[in-house]
Every structure is written in structure tokens, then in C-alpha cells.
Amino acid sequence: MPIGAELIALDRVSFSYPSADGTVSVLNNINLTIRRGEWVAVAGTNGSGKSTLAKLMAGLIPAASGEISFAIREQPPVQLVFQNPGTQIIGETVFEDVCFGMENYGIPDSEMARRAMDALEQTGLSSMADMPVARLSGGQKQLLAVASCISVNPAVLIFDEATSMLDPLARQHVAQAAKRLHHLGATVVWITQWLDELSLADRVIAMDQGSIIFDGSPPDFFYKRNDQCQTGCDRLQFAPPYTVQVVLSLLDQGCKLREPLPITAAELGKAVSEL
């Protein structure tokens, strides 16, 4: 299937969880299409429904109303790295855990060890291959969950705040591993609270109270204002990353920076050097 083909489409999807006095509505009327080859970042306030959206896109829960369609032929179609890594770790040792996922997808024994070590290498865990999983720290468990998901080479990889417990170096490892799969053709959905990670994406979805309030490019998320003069970032009441704050300050002072406005330090350096 070509780059840009529709892979996952949500059409007027709503979702509610059961509660003591009926149900609590979590997602309202979501329309969203994920296309092959995209890197889509999802940002949003706590409790806005990001993890629920991730589970719907991974086919783990059904929509209460509306329709979700999948047009993915590869196996496995979607892998979701959960926010809480404990929920997806099964093996006794680090190496066994990575192999467990591959066994489920029928990856030949002859390939398994090489793919497991490659995934552990990419996530910085290769020296811990024989360590019992119970001895891993929270962040190391998060890295193991990432390694297991990347080892099976899914068509769509969904990271649900998969870097929330990681130190800056480990975050970089995970981002690089995801980028590598993306270059090889995987589609990436990257849910994050770290706004500097939005620069990795082609497209940003912002969620608030169960609705998508922004769907556009990373620069537009930080700089494009609606009729109420608010950006997507303003509407979430999130402080923009430092680089974006510097750009806004430069614009306030009358500097003319070329479009698209910079969102990373490297882009800002280049834009300033061209003034």
C-alpha cells in the first residue's frame, strides 16, 4: 500500500466507561484518519482521552458509537506501548520477554535471537538481556516494552507516553528507535506530554476533554492563531517549549523570521543566522 494510504479511520467515534451511576463519556465524536508513513504526535491535558484513543486505534476496545476501520494487511498491524509498562511484561528475563512477543506473531526461531538483541541494542538494554525482569527499574521496564514492540516490526507503532519515566538519554534512544522504524516504513503515533517531542512529528493532534481541538502541523500548533487569537498550545494552557518562547519574543520585538517558524533550537539558530 502506498505512502499516504488510509490505515486507520475513526468516523464519529465516541466512547464511555461504565461508572457507579451509569457511564462516563470519555471521547466525543472523534473523526480521525491515520495515513501510512505519517508520524502523528498526540498531546493533551490529563484525562482528555489520549490513552483511550490509543486503545481504540490498537483495536483493544470497541467504539461505543461510530465506526473504526482498519486497512492494514501486515502482521502485526498495530503495536501499542502502554503508559504503564508493567501491564505488558510477561517473560522471566529481559531476553525472554522480547522473544515472547515474537513467538506470538510466528517469527521463525532462526531470526528471533538476532531481532531480540537488535531491539535491546536500540533501546540500550543489551547488557541486561539475561537479567530477571523483576529487577528492572520503572524506566528500564518502559524500555523493555518498547524493545518488545519494535522487535515484531508492526505497520503502526503507538507510543502512549512511552518516554514518561525515561532519563534524557533513554528518551533519545527510544526516539531514535522509533525514527529508524519510521524510515523503514512504519507509521508512528506518539502520545506525549513533552512538547519538545512534537518536533519529531509531521502532524500534531491536540485533545481536550474527549475532543480533538487541533489537527495540523507542529509549527501551526505553536504559532497559528484561531479567531480568538489562540494557538492550539494556548487552548491546552500548556507553556510552549523554550525555543518557541524565544521565537515569540523575537517576533514581538519585530524580527522577521521566515516561515515555517522554527520550533527546534537548530531551526531557530538557522533562522536567526539568516536575519
Please report, as ranges, the residues that interact with ligand ATP according to CB under 6 A. Answer: 17, 24, 26, 44, 46-52, 83
Question: With respect to ligand ATP, which residue has the nearer C-beta, 221 or 223?
Answer: 221
CB of 93 to ligand ATP, least distance (A): 29
In whole angstroms, what is the distance from residue 218 CA to residue 58 CA? Answer: 24
CB of 194 to ligand ATP, least distance (A): 12
CB of 233 to ligand ATP, least distance (A): 16
Distances from the Cα of 113 to the Cα of 81, 97, 105, 127, 132, angstroms: 21, 12, 15, 14, 17
Under DSSP, is residue 84 helix (H, G, I), strand (E, B) or coil? coil
Q: What is the DSSP string of 139-208?
A: HHHHHHHHHHHHHT--SEEEEESTTTT--HHHHHHHHHHHHHHHHTT-EEEEE-S-GGGGGG-SEEEEEE
CB of 120 to ligand ATP, least distance (A): 27
Q: Which of 62, 59, 9 is nearest to 34 (CA)?
A: 9
In whole angstroms, what is the distance from residue 167 CA to residue 174 CA? Answer: 11
In whole angstroms, what is the distance from residue 190 CA to residue 188 CA? Answer: 6
Question: With respect to ligand ATP, which residue has the nearer C-beta, 39 or 194?
Answer: 194
Half-sphere exposure of 75 (CA within 13 A, CB side): 7
* Inter-residue contact 42 to 205 (CB < 8 Å): yes
Residue 40 is inside which H or E element, if any? Answer: strand 39-44
CB of 28 to ligand ATP, least distance (A): 12
In whole angstroms, what is the distance from residue 200 CA to residue 1 CA? Answer: 24
CB of 19 to ligand ATP, least distance (A): 7
Question: With respect to ligand ATP, which residue has the nearer C-beta, 83 or 187?
Answer: 83
Question: With respect to ligand ATP, which residue has the nearer C-beta, 24 or 60?
Answer: 24
CB of 60 to ligand ATP, least distance (A): 12
* Inter-residue contact 117 to 126 (CB < 8 Å): yes
Question: With respect to ligand ATP, which residue has the nearer C-beta, 95 or 238?
Answer: 238
Question: With respect to ligand ATP, which residue has the nearer C-beta, 60 or 90?
Answer: 60
Question: With respect to ligand ATP, which residue has the nearer C-beta, 46 or 137?
Answer: 46
